[in-house]
Amino acid sequence: MARNTRKTALWKDAWRAVSGNGKRFAAIVVICAVGVMMMCGLNSVGRDIRGGLDDFFDETDMHDIAIVSTLGLDDADISALRDVSGVADAAGERTASATTKVDGRQASATVTALNDRGIDRPYLVEGRLPESAHEIAVTRQYLDDAGKRLGDALTFDEDTVEGTSPAFADGDYTIVGVVIDPNDIVNPSGPLALVSGAKTVYPMVVAEAAAADVDAPYASAVVTVSGAAALGTYDDDYLSLIDAAKHSIEAIQADRERARTDAVHDAAYDKAMESVNEQKAKADALPDGLPAKAAAEAKIADAEAAIREKVDALPSAKWIVRDRTAVTSYADVKTQSDMVSRLGTLFPALFLVIALLVSLTAVARMVEEDRQLIGTYKALGYTRRETMLKYVLYASVASLTGGLIGDLLGLVGLPFVFTRRLISRIYVLPSYPLLVDWRLAVGGVLLFVVAVTGCATAACIGSLRLAPAELMRPKAPKAGRTILLQRVGFVWNRLSFLGKVTARNLLRYKSRALMVIVGVLGCTALMTAGFGMGTSALTLMPRQHDEIATYDVMAVTKPADHDAAQRELDGDAAVRSSLPLQLGSATLSAANDGDGEKVSAQLMVIPDGRSLDGYVDLHADDGTPIALDEDNDGAVVTANAAKTLGLADGSALDVTDALANAASVTVSGVAQYYTGNVVFMTQLAYEQAFDAEFAPNADLIDVQGDDDAQIAIADRLAGDDAYLTVMSSAKQERDFAKSFMIFFVMIGFIVVMAAILAVVVLYTLASTNISERERELATIKVLGFRRREVHGYVNKEILLLSAIGVALGLPCGRALLGFLVSRLDLPGMNIVPNVEWYCYVAAAALAFLFTWLVSRATNRTLDRIDMVGALKSPE
């Protein structure tokens, strides 16, 4: 009975401690909540982004494997793919490039016909999918840019090679639906699209019935793998399953390439022999023995041999087998989600350290205040474990409460803000799932509970070792010592009395002073890094155009229209100079790394005898110039692509152009480049690598006038039908700045986290400082110190410690920014840390503001000190 009574008393005292120390309890709750929120929330955001893409791919029946052939594919190839082990289904795709008018200007489009197997089915946002030959579905971007709506007509002209027939029927098409292309989910007005610098190409979808020639070869084949849809698209099990299917497809590749080559060559031979067969029939009709017949037969034989030789010289079919890693959006989402998850490990570590400091300070002060009570418990025979229950329970309840709140905010609130408000600005996925990893949710809470409770236990052990008689007497104050500053006479002698007292107090309570410095340092560093992230991102595009891509306008035409457009540019008074070049898209990969990383890039080919000087300044990150002249027989790769693929000078690089022509080149230089991925080659190097003729289709233009004049000239050129797209550097800078709202939200988030950190640490330590020195403060009030003097007596110490924390936090913030940037794998962006002076000023000002706010709050505690009660003897 007595034992039960003892236990009941202990539990009542423990719960009374929770309710009686509300401010300290709240501090531990807040820090633990923020730490768990960031641990669970940021990791949840990464999973939600991937889950959103996986659901989207499942809903659109996105291909697992795509096959492109240099000679196209026929029905026999598709049938053979369907018979491959592990393949669930396969379909041929008909695709054509086209041009159309958008707001009175020429624009590029990619038109794809729906296939009868439903693979790569576009996601329907509004209306319906095309059903008849002259119906078409477009993206929301096209409707907005063209000022059209459902039911309007659209006319496009296909980009066809001379002598070939169009892939789709001519005439007007009625817009019947708004879709999202599953192969490209990057928001066209978001930062990733703008930073790439690539021209806008509008995806469009037509019905299968729109094909002009149903017997024409397919541009590519898309394949789904059995069992793949049930797996996460980034899971190792999925990747292993796809690799197995790819190997099975590669087993039939050589036979199908040979069959397709023979079919194309035979068709070419038969077509070339049309006229020869007529001559052969005429020769056969001549009487035998006639000299003319012999001459005709000899001539026909020579013609046949020439035709055969020409046909044999035609290229052979070559398959390029790709999985989803070749899809730009797939790789981008993986990179983004990995980046967010890494931040979900970094930031919680900081808040865990702060939680340990706060809990250690709070519980240590509680133990000090309960010194006599602990002595009484020990005198009554309570064990150490029983006496410790109160403080362990206090810490456990506080950390558990904070952890549960953090789980709620991290699993629901943070993902909602990031995915619905931020990630949606980058990608156009229709929805994101709310995925909960219960192992992480429970593990995060347990981590903070164990750490905080461990601190509480450590804070109790010292006092519990003392004898009851010693515990029941007041703890002797620390003995005064000569501090280092006293030895610096010319400084110490000039300090006022209160200044000397402040200096002694700062060094008297070293652990608390260190905690204040660490808390303010962490707060300042976070804000400096946050502000620096913003300036680094927002100066990205201006630095790109000021330091590297110094041209004003990039204009792209069809190759056939380039000469005429070039003549007009040469005669344009507003154009200072121009550089013709060949511009196209390419896919890069490290040589002999077929299953490794792939990077989308622009391929710029510079004509022989011309220089990039005045248009693009190619240099390494240390400023060393990179020459692109006739002696450069390799390729210059920009820094971001080189980093992703692990390339350096002398590395072998595989380049595949838009027509699936592949070449292996040597990296002759890695150039600094802030936005986008580009490969630069000379005309000679390109022609040797690709065995193709140089065909200029673009110009880099230097124009007269300021930014507004440059934009006006670009708009004027865009209105010319000869141009497919015209991009103004000045306009790109303005659009880029508008699109970077995501960084402002991230900065706000970091500042809020820093504010919570600073306020909790400063308030906890300031409150503890006041409670420990209550008798001292009561004494100076009795001695006649006015209210403001008492405030200054205490607040001066916090301000000085905060100043030290700020001074240390600013360079630490710059270092933190460098670390964060090294972990930010933003596709096509090479962010260089850049902290402007006003970032340091803002971070320091906010840190002092938080200190001032805490001081205002603790001043009320100072005003409420009971002088008589504080000065009464404990005995």
pLDDT in tens, 666-715: 888 888 888 878 899 998 889 888 888 888 888 998 988 888 888 888 88
Report how far residue 799's alpha carbon sits from residue 574's, in angstroms, rounded to the nearest whole number.
60
- For 27-47, letters b (16+ CB in 10 Å) and e give bbbbbbbbbbbbbbbbbbbbb
Looking at per-residue pLDDT, the higher value among 518 and 875 belongs to 518
- Indicate the SS3 state at residue 376: helix
Q: What are phi and psi of 458, to 5 degrees?
A: -65, -35
Q: Is the pLDDT of residue 162 over 60?
A: no
Looking at per-residue pLDDT, the higher value among 589 and 328 belongs to 589
Sign of the Cα pseudo-torsion (750, 753, 757, 760, in order): positive
Q: Is the pLDDT of residue 810 over 70?
A: yes
Rounded to 5 degrees, what angle do the CA atoms 624, 625, 631 make? Answer: 130
pLDDT at 199: 59
Looking at per-residue pLDDT, the higher value among 246 and 436 belongs to 246
pLDDT band for 77, please (50, 70, 90 cuts). very high
The CB-side HSE value for 555 (13 A sphere, CA atoms) comes to 34
* Structure tokens that stand for 134 in this block: 């002259």
What count of other Cβ atoms lies within 10 Å of the Cβ of residue 860?
Answer: 8
* Structure tokens that stand for 465 in this block: 């070792």
Report how far residue 526's alpha carbon sits from residue 810's, in angstroms, rounded to the nearest whole number.
9
Average pLDDT on 576-590 reads 87
Q: Is the pLDDT of residue 811 over 80?
A: yes
Average pLDDT on 295-321 reads 80
The 8-class DSSP code of residue 168 comes to B
pLDDT in tens, 604-627: 999 988 888 888 888 888 888 888
Average pLDDT on 292-297 reads 73
* Structure tokens that stand for 619 in this block: 């240099």
Average pLDDT on 168-173 reads 78
pLDDT in tens, 394-408: 888 888 998 899 888
Q: Which of 614, 621, 656 is nearest to 635 (CA)?
A: 656
Looking at per-residue pLDDT, the higher value among 77 and 559 belongs to 77
Domain coordinates in residue numbering, the chain: 63-262, 492-546+732-875, 547-731
pLDDT at 160: 47
Looking at per-residue pLDDT, the higher value among 105 and 565 belongs to 565
Average pLDDT across the chain, whole number: 80
pLDDT at 875: 47
- Rg (alpha carbons) of the chain, rounded to whole number: 37
The CB-side HSE value for 621 (13 A sphere, CA atoms) comes to 14
Residue 703, Cα to own-chain centre: how many angstroms?
Answer: 34
Q: Is the pLDDT of residue 24 over 60?
A: yes
Report how far residue 2's alpha carbon sits from residue 712's, in angstroms, rounded to the nearest whole number.
92
Average pLDDT on 623-649 reads 84
pLDDT at 347: 73
- Indicate the SS3 state at residue 65: strand
Average pLDDT on 23-28 reads 81
| Entry pTM | 0.73
pLDDT in tens, 246-275: 999 999 999 998 998 888 888 888 887 787
pLDDT in tens, 184-207: 777 766 666 555 555 567 889 998
Strand partners for 596: none
Query: How would you classify the pairing of strands 678-682 and 599-606?
Result: parallel
Query: How would you classify the pairing of strands 652-657 and 662-671?
Result: antiparallel
* Structure tokens that stand for 859 in this block: 């001043």
Q: Which of 75, 443, 534 is nearest to 263 (CA)?
A: 75
Report how far residue 251's alpha carbon sits from residue 240's, in angstroms, rounded to the nearest whole number.
17
Contact status, residue 621 vs residue 669, Cβ threshold 8 Å: no
Q: Is the pLDDT of residue 517 over 80?
A: yes
* Structure tokens that stand for 596 in this block: 């490794």
Q: Looking at 45-59, 104-118, 246-260, 740-754, which range is the least confident one?
A: 740-754
pLDDT at 164: 43
Report how far residue 483's alpha carbon sits from residue 583's, in angstroms, rounded to the nearest whole number.
71
pLDDT at 676: 79
* Structure tokens that stand for 130 in this block: 């095309």
Average pLDDT on 465-489 reads 70
pLDDT in tens, 330-358: 877 777 777 777 777 777 777 777 777 77
* Structure tokens that stand for 624 in this block: 């060393």
Q: Residues 6 or more apart from 765 whose CB is under 8 A from it? A: 361, 512, 515, 516, 519, 798
Report how far residue 162's alpha carbon sits from residue 144's, in angstroms, rounded to the nearest whole number.
33
The CB-side HSE value for 446 (13 A sphere, CA atoms) comes to 6
